[in-house]
C-alpha cells in the first residue's frame, strides 16, 4: 500500500522469517557460527534460545541455506506439539519416508536404518525442532534416547532445539538430556546501534536509497521494542503506512509515539 509513496520495491518490515532479509547482527552471527559448528562436528545436541520475536526461526532458515543438501539429510519440525509416537512418525516423514508404520518399535527400527543408510552414503542427519518449548516432557525423554544412536566415534543424528527461554529450564529438568547438550546459545535482543543498523539494512534491502527514519524515531522504536526484531518490524511497518497517509517526507518521533499511544502495536 505504501511502496510507491516511499519508492520501495518490497515491504521492508514484513514479519516473516525471510533469509533474504536476514541481518547479521553480532548475536545472530555468533548464534549461526555455533550452529554451523554443531553441524560440521556432528555434535549430538545443540540448543538455541531467545525471547519471542528475537529471530530464532529466521536464523534456523539461514542455517539451512548454509548446509549442503548433498551432505546432510534434514528433518525440520515447526510444530512439535505431538504425542511421542506421532512426533517420531513426523521425523520419518520429514526424512522422506512416506510408508510410516504405526508400531513404535517399527518406527524406531526404520529410523535407525535411515540413519545408518545415510552414514554409509557419507551423509549426516539433522533434526531441527522449532518452538521446542512446547515439546512434552515424554517427547523430550524420547529425544534423549535418540541421542543414543551413535557409533564409537560419532552421533548418527544431530538434534537442534530452538525455542523460548523456558526451553532451557525444561531441558535442565532432564539431567541426562542436559548433559547431552554440547552447544547452547541465548540469542539476545539488539542494542541501540544494532537496532539502527537493522532498520537501515532492511530499508536498503527493500530498495530505499536513503533512510527515512529520524534519529528520534529510532530512539523511541528501540525504547518500545527493547530491541526485539519482531516488534521493531511491527512499528516500522505501521509507521511507513501512517507516514504515507499523512504525506510525511520522513518518519518522525511523533508518528511513532502516536502509534504507540493508540495501542496499535503491543
- Ordered by where they begin, the domains of the chain are 3-21+190-261 (1.10.8), 26-187 (3.40.50.300)
Average pLDDT, the chain: 94
Q: What is the pLDDT of residues 18-76, one digit of tens each?
A: 888 999 999 999 999 999 999 999 999 999 999 999 999 999 999 999 998 889 999 99
Q: Is 163:133 a contact under the CB 8 Å cutoff?
A: yes
pLDDT of residue 119: 92
pLDDT of residue 93: 95
Q: Is 141:6 a contact under the CB 8 Å cutoff?
A: no
List all residues 6 or more positions away from 157 whose beta carbon is below 8 Å from its beta carbon: 44, 115, 125, 126, 127, 146, 147, 149
The predicted model scores a pTM of 0.91
Helix (H) or strand (E) holding 47: strand 45-50
pLDDT of residue 264: 76
Amino acid at each position: 500500500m505504501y511502496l510507491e509513496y516511499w519508492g520501495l520495491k518490497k515491504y521492508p518490515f514484513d514479519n516473516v522469517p525471510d533469509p533474504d532479509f536476514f541481518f547479521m547482527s553480532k548475536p545472530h552471527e555468533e548464534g549461526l557460527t555455533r550452529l554451523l559448528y554443531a553441524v560440521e562436528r556432528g555434535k549430538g545436541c545443540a540448543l538455541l534460545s531467545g525471547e519471542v520475536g528475537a529471530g530464532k526461526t529466521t536464523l534456523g532458515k539461514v542455517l539451512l541455506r548454509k548446509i549442503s543438501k548433498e551432505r546432510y539429510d534434514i528433518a525440520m519440525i515447526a510444530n512439535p506439539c505431538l504425542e511421542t509416537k506421532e512426533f517420531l512418525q513426523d521425523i520419518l516423514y520429514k526424512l522422506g519416508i512416506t510408508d510410516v508404520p504405526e508400531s513404535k518399535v517399527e518406527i524406531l527400527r526404520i529410523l535407525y536404518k535411515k540413519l545408518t543408510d545415510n552414514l554409509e552414503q557419507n551423509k549426516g542427519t539433522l533434526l531441527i525442532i522449532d518452538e521446542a518449548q512446547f515439546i512434552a516432557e515424554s517427547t523430550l525423554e524420547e529425544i534423549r534416547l535418540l541421542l543414543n544412536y551413535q557409533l564409537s566415534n560419532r552421533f548418527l543424528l544431530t538434534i537442534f532445539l530452538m525455542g523460548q527461554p523456558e526451553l532451557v529450564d525444561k531441558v535442565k529438568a532432564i539431567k541426562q538430556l542436559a548433559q547431552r547438550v554440547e552447544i547452547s546459545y541465548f540469542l539476545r535482543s539488539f542494542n541501540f546501534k544494532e537496532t539502527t543498523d537493522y532498520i537501515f539494512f532492511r530499508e536498503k534491502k527493500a530498495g530505499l536509497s536513503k533512510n527515512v527514519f529520524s534519529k528520534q524515531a529510532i530512539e523511541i522504536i528501540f525504547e518500545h521494542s527493547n530491541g526485539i526484531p519482531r516488534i521493531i518490524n511491527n512499528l516500522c511497518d505501521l509507521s511507513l503506512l501512517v507516514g504515507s497517509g499523512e504525506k510525511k517526507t520522513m518518519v518522525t518521533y511523533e508518528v511513532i509515539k502516536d502509534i504507540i499511544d493508540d495501542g496499535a502495536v503491543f
